[in-house]
Structure 1
């Protein structure tokens, strides 16, 4: 009898441990903070990804324009950095939408995901706060030299202000950890560039409008 008890005890212990590990694994897999449900099409995550992709595309366009309109190495370097950074981030935003199997466009008004009324009224191609109008873009296309530099720095400063406000809101609202982290990075990098652009405008006897 004692021999049977000795043989039964290790087997029961192994069974108990196996069951405990199975339950623990199930709990971990279902409660990991990064395992969130896929955002819906009207979520803050999807709205931010769509809107910021559009916002970034204009920043890239403006940067290409000034790059071809000035020989100033500092302005061209800034434009090059913005082109690369924001084109890459735009790809990441669109990539998240693909991962979630969500459309890249929406019938909802821009910024509707923020859940409150916006003071900005879309006009002349400026769909969101900070975005340049079509008229301003046409002026930038025609400008050269220091005129192009000043206008670009002013337009991009306003553009970054709008972008920072949007990204800060998304960082607090997004459910997807990767998207929230990306938004926080945008806030840091664009604030840093705004400081740089303020100094560059001052060198040219101008300031942000």
Structure 2
């Protein structure tokens, strides 16, 4: 019964890996991104009203777009694997939903970085340097050490050992491992979203961070429901 409720919550009676469905989503995502970029080229500069110019390299706006794109890409990789290899319809559906939504968000963020003439990755190789002040310090993340700000690995990211193990599994074991890793991954990105929603100066960036918080909050509940129904327990929260 729990499985049926979880499946109903996340939609679709059909397997999400159908080629036609995937192609429609990709075509729509590309079309939306093209419209946004054309609008920016026409002088809108994608949420920079008043001609203020691009945000600084060390701004919350740029840092969030860079780091969250990296964070999202790992989720997309996991979700794509589960979508293609799970035999559980509900698991495949949530994987498909995460993969398509986060690919679209990565496209938006990387589009902004291109318009701002900023690199897709932080130049220092460190993450979360744009998160400063008591809130970042209290959680042990961000620019907590002035001599060496930032972190090497963002919260919630899987290790190579975890990725290799996921790829070695099948059946119920694969489903449980995927749900555990994706749940932790969602939890790990929450602080960055909250910080950007509060401190970003670009309205587009702020709105996207707020939208992510809402959508991933709902997905987190679904992941928990599916995991419990399959006899799994959440991994320890990301540090």
Does TM, scored on the shorter chain, surpass 0.5? Answer: yes
Cα displacement string for residues 111-153 of structure 1 (whole angstroms, at most 9, x for unaligned residues): 010014563664xxxx210111111001111111110110111
User: What's the counterpart of residue 26 of structure 1?
Assistant: none
The Cα shift of 1:69 comes to: 2.2
State the number of aligned residues: 173
Report the TM-score when normalising by structure 1.
0.78
* Structure 1 residues 29-178: aligned runs within 5 Å: 34-35=49-50, 36-108=52-124, 109-115=126-132, 116-117=136-137, 119=140, 122=152, 127-178=153-204
Deviation at 1:53, TM superposition (A): 0.4
Determine helix, strand or coil for the equivalent of 2:85: coil
Alignment-derived partner of residue 194 in structure 1: 220
* Aligned counterparts of 1:64 and 1:91: Cα–Cα separation in 2: 17
Question: Cα offset for 1:160?
Answer: 0.3
Question: Aligned pair in 2 of structure 1 residues 133, 119: CA closer, same or farther (>3 Å)?
Answer: farther
- Deviation sequence 1:160-204 (CA, Å, 0-9, x none): 011121111111111110011000000000010010011111111
Post-superposition offset of 1:37: 4.1
Unaligned runs of at least 5 residues, structure 1? 1-32
Structure 2 gaps, min length 5: 1-47, 142-150
Match of 1:18 in 2: none
User: Quick check: which one's helix share is greater?
Assistant: 1
- Tell me which structure has the larger Cα radius of gyration: 1
TM-score by length of 2: 0.69
- Matched residue of 2:118: which SS? coil
Q: Does 1:203 align with 2:224?
A: no
2:38 corresponds to:
none
Q: Which runs of 4+ in 1 moved over 4 A?
A: none
